[in-house]
């Protein structure tokens, strides 16, 4: 009798859970419109005033499929964790998840590839779970409660592992560009590309069986165009709980509109953001020779207006953000502020060198600090971090993004300050 009652109770709970799944939004991943993917590898840079550009996006995802290491992941988190925008961590290897990355990230996103090899679906995941259960979690317990008896510590490490996985969100990827690093990492070849019918079926399996919080249509590096639209339209309405994310080659408002109208809940933009930093590096170099260190705001505004037009990377990135009404005006504003902040930091670094004082630049009353104040909680701390990174410059032999300085678009080292 007692057993019958217990079984009945369990069934009732399961039934309620199923009802809630269909009737309520139980997905812990917010329904973001726009996510910016920040790749920690050294070749992909951040604009000097990245907190301004990233204040426009709904969330940041830190990750990439090549040349990502625990060290460059840590450097990226040092720069990004202080922002008010939520920061996710999307590891592509088991060793990218560390205590520091877990502390810094608001959400762990775990990729599982629906059309790749089994290594990418469960192999790397198994390895990562093993490393959390047998290394990361026991080490954490040892450090925080070394006095615990071994058996209790081991039990707690198991609980911590389950907790990490239950709080993570799983991303069921459909990888459609076989020429991308993501495809190489997940064993996806041209023959594995899916048509709309198969893509929808696998998405339904991920939604209902794997219970993946995200179904991610991935064209990494290239825009999926009509094919992506057809797949998204086919999936639309077929999924109960998973959010649908589209990423790959988004470079302007028209691309974004097309995939959103087809049913993508969230668009993910990667390269278009890193291109802002690439262009900025050239622009700052020119500003150094063409503008006086104390150029007026008006002069800088004119100079920037002549060089930033609708086809530039800044306006293009901002045009992918659904809420931004005038991407050209906003990109000019952010670029102008960046140029002024840069000229001022250079001048301060030069002065510090001439006076033989410490190479650390005082960030009080700087354009940098003032620009950060409206978008972050601790503008003093972040301004100091950015100035320190810009001043410390690259170190010979490393260009892997493992230092914050290697992740910024420009370095002030030639202004005389050394580290």
Ligand X SMILES: O=P(O)(O)OC[C@@H](O)CO
Ligand Y SMILES: CC(C)=CCC/C(C)=C/CC/C(C)=C/CC/C(C)=C/COP(=O)(O)OP(=O)(O)O
The binding site for ligand X (CB under 6 A) comprises 37, 182, 218, 220-221, 247-250, 268-272
HSE-up of 267 (CA within 13 Å, CB side)?
Answer: 33
Is residue 401 involved in binding ligand Y (CB under 6 A)? no
Nearer to ligand X, 193 or 301 (CB): 193
Is residue 111 involved in binding ligand Y (CB under 6 A)? yes
Tokens of 261: 């109208």
Among 56, 58, 185, 344, binds ligand Y (CB under 6 A): 185
Pair 343, 285: CB distance under 8 Å: no
Nearer to ligand Y, 129 or 238 (CB): 129
Q: What are phi and psi of 312, to 5 degrees?
A: -75, 160
Nearer to ligand X, 275 or 340 (CB): 275
User: Least separation, in Å, of the C-beta of 182 and ligand X?
Assistant: 6
Among 73, 220, 266, 338, binds ligand Y (CB under 6 A): 220
User: Residue 198 contacts by C-beta under 8 Å, 6 or more apart in sequence?
Assistant: none
Is residue 186 involved in binding ligand Y (CB under 6 A)? yes
250 binds, among ligand Y, ligand X, none (CB under 5 to 8 A by kind): ligand X
What does each C-alpha distance from 408 to 27, 56, 190, 273, 411 come to in angstroms?
35, 19, 35, 13, 7
| Contacts (CB under 6 A) with ligand Y, residues 258-297 | 270
Is residue 36 involved in binding ligand Y (CB under 6 A)? no
User: Least separation, in Å, of the C-beta of 216 and ligand X?
Assistant: 7
> By beta-carbon distance, which residue lies closest to ligand X?
247
Tokens of 399: 């260009």
Stretch of 14-22, 107-115, 376-384, 410-418 lying at the interface with ligand Y (CB under 6 A) = 107-115
User: Least separation, in Å, of the C-beta of 363 and ligand Y?
Assistant: 33
First-to-last C-alpha distance (Å) of the chain: 75
Cα separation, 132 vs 41, whole angstroms: 23
Cα separation, 137 vs 141, whole angstroms: 6
The partner residues of 61 in beta bridges, in order of sequence, read 37, 88
Tokens of 52: 């301004």
3-class secondary structure for 123-175? HHHHHHHHHHHHHHHHHHHHHHCCCCCHHHHHHHHHHHHHHHHHHCEEEEEEE
The partner residues of 112 in beta bridges, in order of sequence, read 172
124 binds, among ligand X, ligand Y, none (CB under 5 to 8 A by kind): ligand Y
Among 125, 204, 240, 251, binds ligand Y (CB under 6 A): 125
Is residue 40 involved in binding ligand Y (CB under 6 A)? no
Nearer to ligand X, 86 or 221 (CB): 221
Nearer to ligand Y, 22 or 166 (CB): 166
| Contacts (CB under 6 A) with ligand Y, residues 72-101 | 91-92, 94, 97
| Contacts (CB under 6 A) with ligand Y, residues 129-158 | 129, 132
What does each C-alpha distance from 172 to 179, 182, 200, 206, 272 come to in angstroms?
19, 13, 12, 6, 23
Is residue 404 involved in binding ligand Y (CB under 6 A)? no
| Contacts (CB under 6 A) with ligand Y, residues 290-349 | none
HSE-up of 395 (CA within 13 Å, CB side)?
Answer: 10
User: Least separation, in Å, of the C-beta of 274 and ligand X?
Assistant: 8
* Positions in the binding site for ligand Y (CB under 6 A): 37, 39, 63-65, 91-92, 94, 97, 110-111, 113, 120, 124-125, 128-129, 132, 173, 175, 180-182, 185-186, 220, 270
């Amino acid at each position: 009798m007692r057993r019958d009652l217990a079984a009945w109770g369990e069934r009732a709970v399961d039934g309620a859970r199923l009802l809630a799944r269909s009737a309520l939004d139980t997905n812990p991943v917010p329904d973001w419109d726009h996510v910016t993917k920040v790749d920690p590898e050294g070749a992909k840079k951040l604009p000097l005033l990245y907190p301004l550009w990233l204040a426009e996006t709904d969330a940041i995802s830190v990750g990439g499929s090549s040349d990502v290491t625990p060290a460059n992941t840590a450097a990226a988190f040092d720069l990004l964790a202080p922002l008010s925008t939520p920061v996710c961590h999307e590891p592509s290897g088991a060793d990218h998840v560390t205590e520091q990355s877990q502390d810094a990230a608001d959400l762990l996103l775990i990729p599982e590839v629906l059309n790749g090899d089994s290594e990418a679906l469960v192999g790397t995941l198994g390895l990562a779970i093993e490393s959390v259960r047998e290394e990361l979690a026991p080490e954490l317990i040892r450090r925080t409660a070394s006095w615990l008896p071994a058996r209790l510590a081991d039990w707690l490490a198991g609980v911590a592992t389950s907790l990490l996985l239950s709080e993570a969100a799983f991303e069921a990827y459909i990888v459609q560009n076989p020429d991308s690093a993501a495809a190489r990492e997940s064993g996806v070849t041209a023959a594995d590309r899916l048509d709309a019918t198969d893509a929808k079926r696998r998405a339904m399996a991920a939604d209902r069986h794997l219970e993946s919080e995200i179904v991610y249509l991935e064209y990494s590096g290239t825009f999926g165009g009509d094919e992506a639209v057809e797949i998204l339209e086919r999936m639309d309405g077929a999924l109960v709980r998973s959010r649908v994310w589209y990423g790959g080659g988004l470079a302007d408002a028209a691309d974004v509109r097309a995939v959103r109208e087809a049913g993508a809940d969230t668009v993910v933009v990667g390269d278009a953001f890193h291109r802002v930093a690439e262009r900025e590096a050239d622009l700052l170099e020119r500003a150094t020779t063409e503008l006086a260190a104390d150029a007026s705001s008006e002069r800088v505004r004119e100079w920037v207006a002549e060089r930033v037009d609708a086809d530039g990377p800044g306006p293009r990135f901002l045009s992918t953000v659904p809420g931004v009404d005038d991407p050209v005006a906003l990109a000019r504003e952010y670029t102008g502020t960046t140029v002024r902040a840069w000229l001022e930091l250079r001048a301060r670094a030069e002065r510090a060198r001439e006076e033989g004082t410490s190479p650390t630049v005082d960030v009080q009353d700087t354009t940098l600090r003032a620009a950060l104040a409206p978008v972050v909680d601790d503008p003093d701390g972040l301004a100091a971090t950015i100035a320190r990174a810009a001043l410390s410059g690259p170190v010979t032999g490393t260009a892997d993004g493992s230092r914050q300085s290697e992740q910024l678009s420009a370095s002030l080292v030639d202004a005389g300050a050394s580290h």
